[in-house]
Amino acid sequence: MQSETAETDPHDHAPLISTRFLVVATCLVFFLAIASVAISYAGRIYGEQLSLAGHSGSREILTITIGRDQLSLPTNTIRFEQQRVSGPAEQIDLYLLWPEMTGYDKGLRRRFDDLAQEKSLIFLQISQSTMSRDMSGRVGAIYAHLLESRSEPGPAGLTLKRFERGAGYDGEALLTASRVGDDDYAVRCLLPAKASQATDGDCQRDIHVGDDLTVMYRFSSRRLGDWAKIDQAVRSYVGTRATPAPSDSSHKMRPITSTKSSS
């Protein structure tokens, strides 16, 4: 019988998993582990930033110079992130809880974010004065010539007069009240047809505070009953935090983030 010589295939005795494959697989697992940790960390950081939605819970006091006045303000009261830095500025925008007159707090987040809760906020815009008269001083000098003659009673002792059409304040009303030993109170409001339609800033008033500051503040028409308390609280809040600016503080101003201006 003729013998047959079996030929051996060199791949018959090769390992099922090559060393190269093990190295590649190990590197891939290591890379995925690092990526997973990085994604988890980034997600947590981003999630925290997203949950803040532009707010800051920091209570660090910032020193901000506007014109001839220097303000010491907690970071969490400043509305816009780009304004949360010490130094010269043309304008600063604040938001405060009413009646607490405090800034953002994580535990009170809903009152800053929930539309149904926003009516408990007061918005302040602080800038260097550009007019010699505040809103109270403009009643007789300007507004009196633009109002309808008919008046009607408003809330909490206020008297309401509507602006004439074409006067530049269409749909707005001026509410005033006499004050002993002080100028008449005045506030402009865009009053809704129904109280439920009131917004968080449909009333606005501006006052002079400090050496040369104008504070324009806005609040909901639902809070008109608190007009005297709100006015005093705003004046006190800014006034107690304003001091004369150092004489060498005239540096380049930061760009402003504009909101609705007063007139």
pLDDT digits (tens, 9 = 90+) for 135-145: 999 999 999 99
**What is the average per-residue pLDDT within 110-118?**
76
216-246: per-residue pLDDT in tens?
Answer: 999 999 999 999 999 999 999 999 999 999 9
Cβ atoms of residues 235 and 209 within 8 Å: yes
> Rounded CA gap, 187 and 98, in Å?
18
- Say whether pLDDT at 100 is over 70: yes
**Strands, E assignment, 89-210:** 91-97, 121-128, 147-153, 159-163, 173-179, 182-189, 203-209
Distances in whole angstroms, Cα of residue 9 to Cα of each of 3, 6, 35, 220: 19, 10, 42, 88
Phi, psi dihedral angles at 213 (to 5 degrees): -110, 145
At 150, list the tokens. Answer: 């008919």
> Rounded CA gap, 140 and 194, in Å?
30
Cβ atoms of residues 97 and 55 within 8 Å: no
Beta strand 69-74 pairing with 242-244 = antiparallel
**Strands, E assignment, 182-226:** 182-189, 203-209, 213-219
> Rounded CA gap, 253 and 57, in Å?
25
Cβ atoms of residues 212 and 67 within 8 Å: yes
Q: Which of 45-49, 92-96, 154-158 has the lowest mean pLDDT?
A: 45-49
Q: In the prediction, which pLDDT does 38 show?
A: 47
Report the b/e string of 193-207 with b at 16+ CB within 10 A: eeeeebbbbbbbbbb
Q: In the prediction, which pLDDT does 32 show?
A: 65
Q: How confident is the model at residue 247 (pLDDT cuts 50, 70, 90)?
A: confident
182-207: per-residue pLDDT in tens?
Answer: 999 999 999 998 888 899 899 999 99
pTM of the model: 0.77
Beta-bridge partners for 94: 78, 124
Beta strand 87-88 pairing with 61-66 = parallel
Q: Is residue 74 reached through a cis peptide bond, with omega within 30 degrees of 0 on the bond before it?
A: no
At 22, list the tokens. Answer: 């093990």
